[in-house]
A = this chain, B = another copy of it.
Amino acid sequence: MRIGELSARTGVSIRSLRYYEEQKLLTSVRQPNGYREFSPLAEEQVRTIQFYLALGISTEQIASFLTCVLMNKEAFCEEVLPIFESKLKEIDDQIHLLSQIKTNLEDRIRSIQESD
């Protein structure tokens, strides 16, 4: 299928699909007229990419394990675990930082409101 159809099927913009290809997350063959031709499997692949992006995994990291997870179960790909773990730690740290800020803001809001 061509890029417009893949975009329509997945809801991902043409711009992003081209970017994924540039980042080696997606491949296509070129027709004689220069158009990209994608395999039907690309649709599932794009959904997988979007799924990992939504977890905050970068395209570079996705590229490192995508081939494996497309062919196997995620658990089978050893590259995946360390990436998930470091991402988890990053998110934990972020949550802690935000929680501190949240507490601070709540305190300040409360003391402003009490001053009425």
Contacts and interface: CB of A to CB of B under 8 A. Distances in A.
A80 interface: yes
A84 interface: yes
Q: Say which size band chain A's interface belongs to.
A: 20 to 34
B115 A87 contact: no
Across the A-B interface, give the 6 residue pairs with the lowest CB-CB distance, nearest first.
Answer: A75-B115, A75-B112, A88-B105, A91-B102, A91-B98, A84-B109
24 contacts: A55-B101, A56-B101, A73-B115, A74-B111, A74-B112, A75-B111, A75-B115, A76-B115, A81-B109, A81-B112, A84-B109, A84-B112, A87-B105, A88-B102, A88-B106, A88-B109, A91-B98, A91-B101, A91-B102, A91-B105, A94-B98, A95-B95, A95-B98, A95-B99
Interface of A: 54-56, 73-76, 80-81, 84-85, 87-88, 91-92, 94-95, 98-99, 101-102, 104-106, 108-109, 111-115
